[in-house]
């Protein structure tokens, strides 16, 4: 089935409540013929609803988020046979409003990764050009939206996982403020930075689903009801970027072009200075690895999931290389590190937060490129893949909301480029509305 007609299917789904079952059958058929490894579970029992606030929307759910009585694989071999006994709070709220769930989407193992190539369920291919990877870790989530299998993908984002694949498939990706949406039922690898996030082609659909999901949850003590912070949206902070191994000239040119467009629109542009991006990404890696080492230690295969007989065997043969890398780094910085990397990373985070307090005293929002380098081809080897999080991890480290949207194209691959907006913590709604003023 052509992408074009699938888009039409989603539009018709909204407009013709009486035909929803038939439309879903056509979408399920299209999914069945898809070879891009987008889904790890397809909900063949899906029953569309009518007359509730979100009955008009179909969503996919990233497979590190719990759905009652459905397997959760988190893209890892160690959890291949685990059925979950409860539904995540955010998803329960969506279900209560009548949303339809089409299936669970493939992801990098335990949501660790930037490319979409470490899942035990297979590499997710980019629906825009299957010679390329789709980005990760919410690879299937972004692909499910780009392929028009759903209106919104519910994903998660620790350092860019929802926003990076959204960028690489030319759609919108939104990571809310930390604490805005309950993480209960999200299999976190680094709970201080993870947030349930939203990917869609339509900003109004992101807003509707986000508004339904958010709010304090007794099951997650980091969640909170919050006042909506607002900003005027007159001044925009920008960065002066220089090409390096971690940022390509093409990305900088595209970013500068977008800044010119903002000036044409009449915004006040003000140059901000963030000292050392490589140091920020290093701090992110250290902090999240320490949490991953402790947080993933419960996956032994002995109590649930796959059990090959003993703990050592389970962990050595059922966990993938990327997850092992993080666990080893995390245990190292927690236990053996004389150079005090963890302390240095914490300090870098606090300096960054203080820096952003100053930035948001001067400008309403800051814009950056979303990814600093172009998407990789399938099986292309790169030592630089951790740099993909260079700009996105900033929002996680400071707890701020961030929205990414397509702007420009890469010359060689013709794949979309993307811009990120970061705004003050808890200004999520204002940010979603502001997007309409600055979109291209
Ligand atoms: N790519 C980042 C990492 O591997 C982000 C992952 C995420 O956001 N879940 O840590």
Q: What is the pLDDT along the chain (440 residues), one digit of tens a residue?
A: 444 477 789 999 999 999 999 999 999 999 999 999 999 999 999 999 989 999 999 999 999 999 999 999 999 999 988 999 999 999 999 999 999 999 999 999 999 999 999 999 999 999 999 999 999 999 999 999 999 999 999 999 999 999 999 999 999 999 999 999 999 999 999 999 999 999 999 999 999 999 999 999 999 999 999 999 999 999 999 999 999 888 999 999 999 999 999 999 999 999 999 978 889 999 999 999 999 999 999 999 998 899 999 999 999 999 999 999 999 999 999 998 888 999 999 999 999 999 999 999 999 999 999 999 999 999 898 888 889 999 999 999 999 999 999 999 999 999 999 999 999 999 999 999 999 999 98
Catalytic residues: 62, 137, 161
Element (H, E) at 59: strand 58-62
**How far is ligand 1, taken at its centre, from the CA of residue 5, in Å?**
33
Q: Ligand 1 pocket: which of 163, 174, 288 to mutate (most atoms <8 Å of CB)?
A: 288
Mutate to test the pocket of ligand 1, among 75, 107, 114, 322 (most ligand atoms within 8 A of CB): 114
263 backbone dihedrals φ, ψ, rounded to 5°: -65, -40
Tell me the CA distances in angstroms from 418 to 267, 284, 370, 409, one per residue in order: 19, 22, 5, 8
- Could you tell me the pTM of the whole model? 0.97
In the block, residue with structure tokens 């909301």: 401
Residue bearing the CA closest to ligand 1, atom 10: 112
Q: How far is the CA of 353 from the centre of ligand 1 (A)?
A: 20
Distance 97 CA to ligand 1 centre (A): 30
Contact residues of ligand 1, CB 6 A cut-off = 111-114, 137, 156-161, 288, 389
CA-to-CA dists, residue 281 to 136, 196, 386, angstroms: 16, 21, 8
- State the Cα–Cα distance between residues 38 and 411, nearest whole angstrom: 26
């Amino acid at each position: 089935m052509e992408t074009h007609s699938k888009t039409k299917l989603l539009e018709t789904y909204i407009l013709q409540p009486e035909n929803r079952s038939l439309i879903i059958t056509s979408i399920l058929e299209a999914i069945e013929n898809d070879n891009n490894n987008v889904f790890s579970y397809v909900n063949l029992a899906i029953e569309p609803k009518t007359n509730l606030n979100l009955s008009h929307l179909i969503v996919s759910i990233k497979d590190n988020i719990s759905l009652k009585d459905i397997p959760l694989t988190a893209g890892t071999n160690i959890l291949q046979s685990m059925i979950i006994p409860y539904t995540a709070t955010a998803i329960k709220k969506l279900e209560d409003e009548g949303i339809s769930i089409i299936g669970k989407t493939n992801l990098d193992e335990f949501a660790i990764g930037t490319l979409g190539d470490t899942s035990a369920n297979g590499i997710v291919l980019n629906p825009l050009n299957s010679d390329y990877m789709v980005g990760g870790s919410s690879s299937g989530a972004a692909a499910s939206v780009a392929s028009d299998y759903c209106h919104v993908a519910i994903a998660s984002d620790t350092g860019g996982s929802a926003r990076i694949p959204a960028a690489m498939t030319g759609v919108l990706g939104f990571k809310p403020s930390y604490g805005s949406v309950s993480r209960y039922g999200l299999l976190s690898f680094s709970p201080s930075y993870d947030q349930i996030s939203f990917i869609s082609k339509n900003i109004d659909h992101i807003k509707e689903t986000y508004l339904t999901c958010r709010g304090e949850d007794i099951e997650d003590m980091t969640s909170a009801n919050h006042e909506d912070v607002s900003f005027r949206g007159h001044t925009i902070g920008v960065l002066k970027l220089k090409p390096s191994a971690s940022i390509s000239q093409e990305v900088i040119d595209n970013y500068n072009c977008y800044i010119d467009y903002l000036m044409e629109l009449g915004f006040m542009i003000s140059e901000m200075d963030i000292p050392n991006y490589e140091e920020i990404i290093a701090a992110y890696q250290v902090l999240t690895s320490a949490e991953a080492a402790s947080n993933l230690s419960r996956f032994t295969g002995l109590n649930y999931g796959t059990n090959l007989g003993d703990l050592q065997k389970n962990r050595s043969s059922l966990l993938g290389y990327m997850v092992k890398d993080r666990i080893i780094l995390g245990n190292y910085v927690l236990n053996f590190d004389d150079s005090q990397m963890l302390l240095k990373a914490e300090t870098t985070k606090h300096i960054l937060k203080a820096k952003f307090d100053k930035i948001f005293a001067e400008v309403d929002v800051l814009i950056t490129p979303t990814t600093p380098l172009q998407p990789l081809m399938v099986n292309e080897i790169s030592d630089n893949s951790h740099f993909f999080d260079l700009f996105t991890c900033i929002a996680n480290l400071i707890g701020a909301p961030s929205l990414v949207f397509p702007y420009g194209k890469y010359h060689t691959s013709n794949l979309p480029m993307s811009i990120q907006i970061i705004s003050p913590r808890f200004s999520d709604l204002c940010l979603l509305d502001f997007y309409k003023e600055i979109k291209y």
